[in-house]
Amino acid sequence: MKLVFATHNLNKLAEVKAMLPDSIELLSLDDIGCTEEIEENGKTIEENAAIKANYVFEKYNYNCFADDTGLEVESLDGAPGVHSARYAGEQKNDSDNIDKLLKELKDSDKRSARFKTVISLRTDRERIIFNGIVNGVITEKRKGKNGFGYDPVFQPEGMQLTFAELSSEEKNKMSHRARAMEQLIDYLNT
């Protein structure tokens, strides 16, 4: 089965490819000739995932899934949330985003957070949403060199390591994206 993953993010693409069974041929936006940046102007993570999946399905006529992920920090009323990638500005710089987050939490002992991934599947037959959530805390400083985004400052509940201190294999077994992907894969296999 051919399925497009609506992303230009090579880190996400590699992470998702490693999770999928061999029976699914995963194509990226680049593989189908979609070089434009799909505008994510939704008010929620769910809306952004659906916008991307619908765009690819309608413009390129491929069955597609798209994800959107947000880091939701309890003491920041769920911020950065839907704005996670652009938290420190339109340049979408991971290091700048982390700097801003750590600065905002500098004097706070309330550091509870959750990573939330929403996957929107769009095919010629249906539209379905899958959710994956991992609860944890924001650390006081960066730890680890693996991963991307907020991984160096997100410590999952029940662990002493950040996502960036885990190998990609370890992270892929329990991450928010992995949890949403498991649901997608189970659905595709039925």
- The catalytic residues are 68
- Strands (DSSP E) contained in the chain are 2-5, 25-28, 64-73, 112-122, 127-138, 154-156
As beta bridge partners, residue 64 has 4, 122
CA pair distance 82, 39, nearest whole angstrom: 13
Whether a cis peptide bond, with omega within 30° of 0, leads into 80 is yes
- The set of residues, in sequence order, having a beta carbon less than 8 Å from that of 170 and lying 6+ positions away, is none
The whole-angstrom separation of Cα 6 and Cα 66 is 5
**Alpha-carbon dihedral of residues 164, 169, 173, 175, nearest 10 degrees?**
30
Gyration radius from the chain CA atoms: 16
Q: How far apart are CA 163 and CA 10, in angstroms?
A: 18
